[in-house]
Structure 1
Amino acid sequence: MIFQFLSGFPLALLGAAALVTISMPSNAADPPAPRRVAQAAPAPVTSPPPDVGARIMVTSPEQAVNLALARAPILRSAEAGRRAAQGDLVQAGLRPNPEAKIDNQSFIASGPYRGGSPLETSLGLSQRIETAGKRQARVETAGRALALTGLDVEAARLDLVREVVRALAGAVASARAVEIGRERVRLADEVLRATRARVEAGREPLVQQRRAEVARETAAVGFERLQREAAEALRALSVLLAAPRVEISAARAAWFDNIGPRPDLAREPALPSSQLDRARLNALVDQRRAELDLQRRNAVPDVTINGAVSRLREASQTATGTAFILGLSVPLPVFDRNQGNILRAGAEVNRAEADAERGRLYLDASLTDGERRLDQSWRAADSLRRIVLPAAGEAAASAREGYAAGKFSLLEVLDAQRALSDAREQLNAALLEMQQVRADIARLRGRAATPTPASAPAGRQ
């Protein structure tokens, strides 16, 4: 629709009318662009880079977790992702920019129009008006994405806490395994010395000395392997703490020995719907549904309003005039109706719903399995500490004394030492599994729990 007014309208009045056209709202249902969006979530202040050359002495899980939360680059990466989503939210609330246009008719002409001024000069503005609530749908989609990234940041924090606790427990267990291996070598040396004395005295054949030497060398090889594993465990912990070198004191790790009361499998209910991982699954479904709604709204064509002021002149230059032109353009959705994007968004919704269902089943199964493993490791640690380890220690000491007095054979001594070392290793492994499973369960329940030391190792009363 084009209206031409050849009467001389004042230029200022026509310009004001064009600006009024530009300021028209894009949709009656669209809310005004919220100014607070750009200021709602200021970028957090990041701490300066840590001193990567410092050596760190870790004495407790709380200290290790605090160091990791302050130094780990994975959290800075997650925070950057959230700030990027905040930028998407700001951008989603912005309206389309107006467009300016200048037209000169007969700028280069021939014949009677040569050398004269243009017959028509137009100055126009156009504004695309979004329909069907597109801007509101964009803001909704970006807001859902921002909420999802916020949950991702919290999940990254809890994952880091779990991994730090697991790595610290593994480092302590590896250090204690080294001590167990060193004790095994020491006991093998004692048996070897006693065997040599008995062989020299003629009370044992030489083959018994060879057997004791084999046992001693086997213990030494195992000790070297345990040392390598302990060094690897410390390196894994140092990576999580973003430090080149980490040291621990396994002898002072009272928290590692605290098994606490026996777990009550019926004490805590299953995971609630507000649990972090469940909330992430639900948030992803909501975000995909918002994206589908946006793509459906994008199928509705937008309207573009044009306004222009034209200066008209006849070829004889005897008459001039001013015209005000209004235009309206709408794309015809003949071929492109956004079918592909709608189809893709619908498939993404179906996939998110299926992933959410699978994720909920996995979370429930993981929690049940973790609680069962915690109960088994607690019972193993309690039994090994109260019954097996004291009995194995007494049996090994009696066997060594009896062998020196000629009451027991070398094979019996070696069996007693092996039983003692096995009991110590099993207790160490049970304590490690218990601490790591506790960290896994705390993560499943959405908690940043760390082990606590006790004045005396707890167990069955």
Structure 2
Amino acid sequence: AAERLAQDASAAAAAERAARIAVDVLLGEANSSGDWVPGDSLETLVGLPFPASAESPGLTRPDLLAAQAAERKAEADLRLQGANRVPDPTVSLQYEHEQPDKPNTIGLAISLPLPLWNRNEGNLAAARAAITAAKVQTDKLRAQIAADIAAARVAYAEASGRLQRYREQIRPKSEQVRKTVAFAYEKGGASLLDLLSAERNDNDVRLATAAAAADAATAAVNLKAALNYSSEP
């Protein structure tokens, strides 16, 4: 049993190093050995710098800003096509130099096309359709953002609640059982098998607590992303 625990610890250490190397690869680091210590801990990553129920319209999310920009562009295109319904007048100026015994002449011509059959209706219809599509996309994105925020809040509430139960209830009880069995073993009231079983169970609870903390940290990151929260000033 002791050898198994040692093997599990060695496997966990190898997995941790592999995870650090994977992070280095994502950051473009060459020849990474994974020998670095994270600046953040699960304790800091689990918490939120704002209440989990904080209201946020998500108005600064890049995807929504892009949709709103597309909507404004479609509206500008409609105004442009509306202005093109009446063609611009054409003004021409002509100057002719005559012989010395004749006066010079200056001519001015103004051409104003009358859009009797072509009033740019096709382009106007296309521009109106583009505005409708852009507005639908923006509204759809707003609804998706609201759904993302709601789902992220539910996930964070579940993960943080599970972590709290592990920390405040399950983990202390497991540790107390291990200590009780260890004390009984020292006094001859428990067998070695009982002690190893209690230690194995306590280690499993420790791992489950760490996994719950990792889930809570991931949920916190997802909630920050849904709310478009940035810790940068």
Equivalent residue runs for 1:54-453 within 5 Å = 191-192=2-3, 212=4, 217=7, 220-236=10-26, 238=27, 249-250=37-38, 253=41, 256=44, 259=47, 265=53, 268-269=54-55, 271-272=56-57, 275-277=59-61, 280=65, 281-313=67-99, 319-331=101-113, 333=115, 337-396=119-178, 402=185, 407-409=191-193, 413=196, 416-417=199-200, 419-449=201-231
Which has the larger displacement, 297-306 or 334-343? 334-343
* Kept after mapping to 1: 8 A contact 2:178/2:199: yes
Larger-gyration structure (1/2): 1
Shift of 1:302: 0.7
Change (3 A) 1:250 1:382: farther
> Structure 2 counterpart of 1:413, which letter?
L
> Structure 1 counterpart of 2:193, which letter?
S
Aligned partners of 1:448, 1:223: CA distance in 2, in Å? 31
> Corresponding residue for 1:180?
none
Aligned partners of 1:264, 1:385: CA distance in 2, in Å? 20
Secondary structure (helix, strand or coil) at the match of 1:449 reads coil
Secondary structure (helix, strand or coil) at the match of 1:362 reads helix
Change (3 A) 1:230 1:422: farther
- TM (norm. structure 1) is 0.40
Secondary structure (helix, strand or coil) at the match of 1:249 reads coil
> Structure 2 counterpart of 1:228, which letter?
A
Secondary structure (helix, strand or coil) at the match of 2:104 reads strand
Aligned partners of 1:255, 1:221: CA distance in 2, in Å? 23
Gaps spanning 5+ residues in structure 1: where?
A: 1-187, 193-211, 451-461
Shift of 1:293: 1.8
Q: In proportion to residue count, which structure has more helix?
A: 2
Aligned partners of 1:343, 1:440: CA distance in 2, in Å? 41
Number of aligned residue pairs? 225
Aligned partners of 1:373, 1:349: CA distance in 2, in Å? 36
Alpha carbon RMSD of aligned pairs, Å?
4.0
Secondary structure (helix, strand or coil) at the match of 1:276 reads coil
Shift of 1:290: 2.4
Aligned partners of 2:162, 2:49: CA distance in 1, in Å? 13
Which has the larger displacement, 344-353 or 254-263? 254-263
* Kept after mapping to 2: 8 A contact 1:399/1:408: no
Deviations along 1:34-71, whole A, 9 cap, x unmatched?
xxxxxxxxxxxxxxxxxxxxxxxxxxxxxxxxxxxxxx
Aligned partners of 1:261, 1:399: CA distance in 2, in Å? 41
Aligned partners of 1:260, 1:442: CA distance in 2, in Å? 8
- TM (norm. structure 2) is 0.71
* Kept after mapping to 2: 8 A contact 1:263/1:374: no
Secondary structure (helix, strand or coil) at the match of 1:367 reads helix
> Corresponding residue for 1:20?
none
Identical pairs, percent: 16
Secondary structure (helix, strand or coil) at the match of 2:230 reads coil
